[in-house]
């Protein structure tokens, strides 16, 4: 008998108990006629319950026998109403009903579990839970694929899709139109679409929105359709279904911080991901290699080649299509040069249709590469339906980091090698400079440099000759720290992606100052400044300006008017320029003429409005000792503002041939034309951010002209090993040496530093020196990469793709035990038992009362 059916019967018994009380009261008042009527109601109810039990359980149950005896007792009471004592009649009726009630309570209980996938490709997120339910002899499990719709641009429903005919043969499918949710009232419903009507691309049928499902079950359980290597997108923490579901399954305890803090902790089940179960199961018992693959996987002598799973993602293609295709060509060429390795290429199933809809002009290039792959017999082209089977047959992963496939390989205990899509050539001798030399953050101490891998290097005599000092994090990547500032004789390492401040001394971290944690930060801070005993951290996505008192150890979080400086636009998050001037911290708006002004000593804040003729916003805020200069976020109008007099002067800096190119997409724009400037005499020297020219602006006459620095300029990064976010910027030497109007110029395109003598219009290259062998020794190799990728190795100048294929990469070799330990942090029950643990918990904790859970 179903649990909810039993409860319905017990509810009827409770109603009959109430009728017994009414009969007792009527007999005591000699209301025999009414008592007779109520007795008939009791008998009718008992007969209906008995018939229901026989329909469910068949003939011959103790419960029905007890009900028949109870009906006989009703008859005996009815024929002697006026003679039988009231209390005796009541006890007689109660004893008969209680026997029937106990018989029902002791009847074996069955459960009904319903699984509601919509895309067959996501079935693996539910499959192992279904397997556990299906194996339970006391449970009836139903797989009911549900229809979904494409959404039109106006939000209306477009084409309907139903994939119920695409499930594996061993999975029995029930049509959604044949299952009566209201009358069957399943004990538990498992689903994996949390967005309901708020998915902009697709929508399941509205009947299957979580709010509606809630009324048809005792326990509604959401299981994520995705798995992750450690992070989560912010939007995934606030889906509507979370508020209607009784339980939300998460991969591990560490993921709870990504969700809305208003959700009860009791809702969350950190029991792992069923997606991992299937991979673990198949890797422990690998399937047979398809016949079509065998000649690629095996050598002529029968030995098995090492198989590398190559993942080409949609996100990687859309981010920079031209570079994506160059990367593909480079990967194919590397494997062509290594015939002992087998490349298994599995493009995203929607990659080609995405080319057609968004990058049609590049489709011929893609097709040519695809043809080269086949004709050169480089490896296996995989378009099979189940990725888990493929993973079981592969030895390692190469591809993007932002893919759930990395977590599947990680949990399976196989190497994950993350490609750098910018790299499309083998490293040459000096290419490590492009990765190691990042430049110097504004207002930082140039004696320190945080390099690739969150490693700190130090130039003891401030001569730009750096030696290793210490590691700043267990994570090898992620740009966790940025600048180092010295206050009161202590060196404070300031965060970029981390949420703490480090104090370093004697080659190690002496103290960690923890900040308030903020869920969902992508890039926490974008800069730091020192004033007296105070350290200021300037936020990117962190929700406050942090003011740390280095003497008292007190941390303040300044949030007033922060939306002036940091805001979310239609397509991107923006922050403005900032600087310290005359005891005040100035933070300019990236979208208009407002400036947030904070008194450094007190933390008092006010907003000042500058009278500008435009709303270009400010990307860089710089000071020439008298005025503040606002370099535009958009456009070519440079503004000069005197905070004391509030005087404003605007300069239109639009010389012939000046244009900007978006560094991410490669398209023409008018964004970020200039970076940090230099001031000499009456002139302002504006280096290019995303612009293509240096400009000299006379602040007296307003005349602007191209300035050609006396150095050999390059027009683009040397190659893909050079990480570039802007073209050039100036650094003022006065802070270090007390020399007025003396500047360094950093060219990011080739990572070279120059001392500029404006008086002589000359420059001298300043060598930034590292010990190459020391850098190579400090390379991590396989390690904990970042919060969003627990363990793996990243392609770079010291670890090329060829090095990985040949087993000669620098740093730690792959360690399966370390990988397993790392992935335990983000995958509970990573041994393949997540599904049975989820089902077991729900089975034990689902209440018997209809419509709620413990």
DSSP string, 773-801: HHHHHT--BSB--BTTB-SBEE--SSS-H
Phi, psi of 769 (to 5 degrees): -115, 130
Question: In the prediction, which pLDDT does 854 show?
Answer: 24
- Element of type H or E holding 499: none
Residues 570 and 574: their CA atoms lie apart, in Å, by: 10
Regions of the chain with pLDDT less than 50: 735-739, 848-854
Model's pTM, two decimal places? 0.82
Residues 513 and 799: their CA atoms lie apart, in Å, by: 34
Total Cβ atoms within 10 A of residue 170: 7
Helix runs in 288-403, H state only:
291-297, 314-319, 321-336, 351-358, 363-375, 387-393
Of 679, 711, 683, 708, the residue nearest 694 (C-alpha): 708
Q: What's the pLDDT tens digit per position in 607-633?
A: 999 999 888 899 999 999 899 999 999
Helix, strand, coil percent values for the chain (each to nearest 5): 30, 25, 40
Question: In the prediction, which pLDDT does 228 show?
Answer: 86
- Element of type H or E holding 57: helix 32-57
Question: In the prediction, which pLDDT does 648 show?
Answer: 96
Question: In the prediction, which pLDDT does 852 show?
Answer: 32
Question: In the prediction, which pLDDT does 708 show?
Answer: 93
- The CA–CA distances, whole Å, from 538 to 333, 559, 585, 587, 674 equal 44, 11, 10, 9, 21
Whole-number percent of the chain with pLDDT over 70: 97
Relative to beta strand 584-588, strand 594-599 is antiparallel
Residues 605 and 811: their CA atoms lie apart, in Å, by: 49
Question: In the prediction, which pLDDT does 386 show?
Answer: 85
Q: Residue 425 carries which DSSP code?
A: S
Total Cβ atoms within 10 A of residue 344: 23
End-to-end CA distance of the chain: 21
Contact of 103 with 62, CB cutoff 8 Å: yes
Of 394, 418, 395, the residue nearest 406 (C-alpha): 418
């Amino acid at each position: 008998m179903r649990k909810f059916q039993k409860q319905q019967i017990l509810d009827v018994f409770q109603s009959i108990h109430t009728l017994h009380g009414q009969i007792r009261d009527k007999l005591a008042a000699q209301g025999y006629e009414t008592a007779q009527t109520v007795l008939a109601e009791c008998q009718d109810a008992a007969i209906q319950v008995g018939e229901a039990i026989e329909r469910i359980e068949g003939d011959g149950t103790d419960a029905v026998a007890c009900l028949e005896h109870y009906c006989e007792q009703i008859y005996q009471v009815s024929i002697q109403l006026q003679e039988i004592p009231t209390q005796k009649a009541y006890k007689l009726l109660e004893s008969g009903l209680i026997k029937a009630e106990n018989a029902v309570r002791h009847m074996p209980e069955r459960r009904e579990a319903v699984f509601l996938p919509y895309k067959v490709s996501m079935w693996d997120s539910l499959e192992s839970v279904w397997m556990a339910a299906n194996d339970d002899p006391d449970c009836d499990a139903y797989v009911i694929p549900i229809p979904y719709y494409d959404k039109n641009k106006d939000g209306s429903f477009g084409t309907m899709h139903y994939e119920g005919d695409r499930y594996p043969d061993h999975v029995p499918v029930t049509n959604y139109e044949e299952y009566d949710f209201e009358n069957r009232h399943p004990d538990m419903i498992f689903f994996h679409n949390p967005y309901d009507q708020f998915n902009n691309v697709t929508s399941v049928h509205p009947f299957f929105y979580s709010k509606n499902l809630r009324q048809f079950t005792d326990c509604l359980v959401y299981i994520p359709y995705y798995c992750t290597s450690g992070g989560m997108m912010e939007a995934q923490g606030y889906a509507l279904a979370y508020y209607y579901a009784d339980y939300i399954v998460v991969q591990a305890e560490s993921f709870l911080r990504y969700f809305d803090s208003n959700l009860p902790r009791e809702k969350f089940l950190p029991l792992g991901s069923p997606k991992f179960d299937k991979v673990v199961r198949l890797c422990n018992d690998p399937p047979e290699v398809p016949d079509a693959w065998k000649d690629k996987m095996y050598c002529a002598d029968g030995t098995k080649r090492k198989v590398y799973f190559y993942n080409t993602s949609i996100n990687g293609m859309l981010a920079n299509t031209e570079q994506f295709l160059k990367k593909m060509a480079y990967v194919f060429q590397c494997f062509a040069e290594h015939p002992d390795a087998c490349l298994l290429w599995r493009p995203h199933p929607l990659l080609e249709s995405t080319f057609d809809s968004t990058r049609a002009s590049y489709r011929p290039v893609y097709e040519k590469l695809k043809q080269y792959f086949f004709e050169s017999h480089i490896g296996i082209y995989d378009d099979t339906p189940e990725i888990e089977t493929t993973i079981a047959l592969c030895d390692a992963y190469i591809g993007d980091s932002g893919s759930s496939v990395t977590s599947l390989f990680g949990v399976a205990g196989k190497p994950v090698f993350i490609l750098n899509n910018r790299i499309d050539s083998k490293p040459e001798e000096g290419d490590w400079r492009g990765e190691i030399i990042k430049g110097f953050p504004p207002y930082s101490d140039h004696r320190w440099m945080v390099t690739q891998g969150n490693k700190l290097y130090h130039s003891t005599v401030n001569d730009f000759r750096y030696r290793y000092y210490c590691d700043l994090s267990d994570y090898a990547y992620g740009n966790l720290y940025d600048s180092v500032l010295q206050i009161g004789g202590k060196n404070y390492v300031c965060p970029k992606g981390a949420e703490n401040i480090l104090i370093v001394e004697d080659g190690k971290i002496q103290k960690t100052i923890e900040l308030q944690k903020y869920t969902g930060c992508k890039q926490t801070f974008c800069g730091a400044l020192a004033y007296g005993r105070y350290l200021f951290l300037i936020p990117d996505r962190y929700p406050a300006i942090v003011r740390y008192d280095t003497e008292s150890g007190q941390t303040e979080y300044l949030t007033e008017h922060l939306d002036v400086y940091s805001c979310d636009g239609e397509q991107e998050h923006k922050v403005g320029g900032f600087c310290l001037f005359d005891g005040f911290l100035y933070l300019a708006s990236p979208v208009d003429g407002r400036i947030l002004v904070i008194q450094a000593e007190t933390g008092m804040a006010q907003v000042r409005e500058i009278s500008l003729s435009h709303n270009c916003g400010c990307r860089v805020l710089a000071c020439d000792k008298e005025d503040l200069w606002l370099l535009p976020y958009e456009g070519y109008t440079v503004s000069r503002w005197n905070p004391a007099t509030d005087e404003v002067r605007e300069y239109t800096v639009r010389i012939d041939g000046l244009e900007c190119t978006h560094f991410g997409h490669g398209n023409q724009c008018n964004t970020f034309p200039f970076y940090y400037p230099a001031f000499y005499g009456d002139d302002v020297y504006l280096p290019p951010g995303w612009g293509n020219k240096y400009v000299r602006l006379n602040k007296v006459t307003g005349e602007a002209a191209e300035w050609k620095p006396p150095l050999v300029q390059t027009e683009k990064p040397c190659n893909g090993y050079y990480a570039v976010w802007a073209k050039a910027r100036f650094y003022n030497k006065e802070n270090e040496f007390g020399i007025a109007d003396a500047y360094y110029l950093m060219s990011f395109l080739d990572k070279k530093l120059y001392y500029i003598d404006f008086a002589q219009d000359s420059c001298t290259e300043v060598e930034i020196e590292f010990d190459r062998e020391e850098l190579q020794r400090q390379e991590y190799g396989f390690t904990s990469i970042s919060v969003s990728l627990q363990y793996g190795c990243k392609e770079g100048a010291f670890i090329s793709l060829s090095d990985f294929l040949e087993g000669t990469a620098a740093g730690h070799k792959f360690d399966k035990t370390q990988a397993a330990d790392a992935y335990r942090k983000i995958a509970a029950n990573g041994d393949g038992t997540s599904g049975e643990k989820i089902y077991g918990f729900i089975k034990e904790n689902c209440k018997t009362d209809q419509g709620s859970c413990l």
